[in-house]
Amino acid sequence: MDSRVQFCTACGAGVEKKIPPGDDHRRYVCTVCGNIHYQNPKLVVGCIPEYQHRILLCKRDIEPRRGKWTLPAGFLENGETVREGAMRETYEEALVRVEIIAPFRLFDLAFVNQLYLMFRASILVPDFGPTPESSEVRLVLEEDIPWDDIAFPVIARTLRHYFSDRVKGQFSFQSLELSKSTSAIK
């Protein structure tokens, strides 16, 4: 999922895709000024907000997967730390303030040039509500997770790992890779 570049951001001339001298990757290079437009993976940050053994889920009111349930998460912005990004996304999607506990899972989704970093988090005051991004926000027990209606495989995976660690009483950080095929498995 390369974002297509057709014109140079520095001079507005056309670009071509080629390997610059001393490089080994094809890049979008300006045919006039030579500016190189690098493209790199994007980091999604989010959390698993817990309150009295319940997990906060958001029903997506935006595409893709409108109407499906997810954990709060979104692209890290310039100038913020991963914790700040996870807290901001959680507030934007569910109007709830969380306390970040620790990083829980880092998933490589190299097939879409994304990484997901999911934190464990606590809700101190269960004050939340719908937002432009979420038509509904709920605290749900493990047995009530709508497994068939989770928006993305990486979110279902995060939840399963979380419950699996929680029952053992020990959470450990892991960095894992999801392939296009494994990510289809809930």
Interacting residue ranges for its own copies, rule: CB under 8 A: 1-14, 22, 25, 37-43, 75-84, 102-103, 106, 108, 110-111, 113, 115, 117, 132, 173, 175, 177
Select 99 or 144, whichever has its Cβ closest to its own copies: 99
Least CB distance from residue 65 to its own copies, whole Å?
A: 18
- Where would I find the beta strands (DSSP E) of the chain? 15-18, 27-30, 36-37, 42-51, 54-60, 69-70, 73-75, 98-109, 114-123, 134-140, 174-177
Nearest-angstrom CA–CA distance, 135 and 129: 9
Nearest-angstrom CA–CA distance, 73 and 65: 14
Select 106 or 145, whichever has its Cβ closest to its own copies: 106
Least CB distance from residue 113 to its own copies, whole Å?
A: 4
CB 77 within 8 A of CB 43: no
- How far CA 52 is from CA of 49, 55, 96, in Å, comes to 10, 8, 15
> Would you state the structure tokens that stand for residue 32, as one six-digit string?
């006039």
Nearest-angstrom CA–CA distance, 44 and 23: 27
Among the listed residues 84, 155, 98, 93, the one whose alpha carbon sits nearest the alpha carbon of residue 129: 93
Select 82 or 145, whichever has its Cβ closest to its own copies: 82
Least CB distance from residue 70 to its own copies, whole Å?
A: 18
Least CB distance from residue 168 to its own copies, whole Å?
A: 18
Least CB distance from residue 108 to its own copies, whole Å?
A: 4
Select 55 or 86, whichever has its Cβ closest to its own copies: 86
Select 77 or 144, whichever has its Cβ closest to its own copies: 77
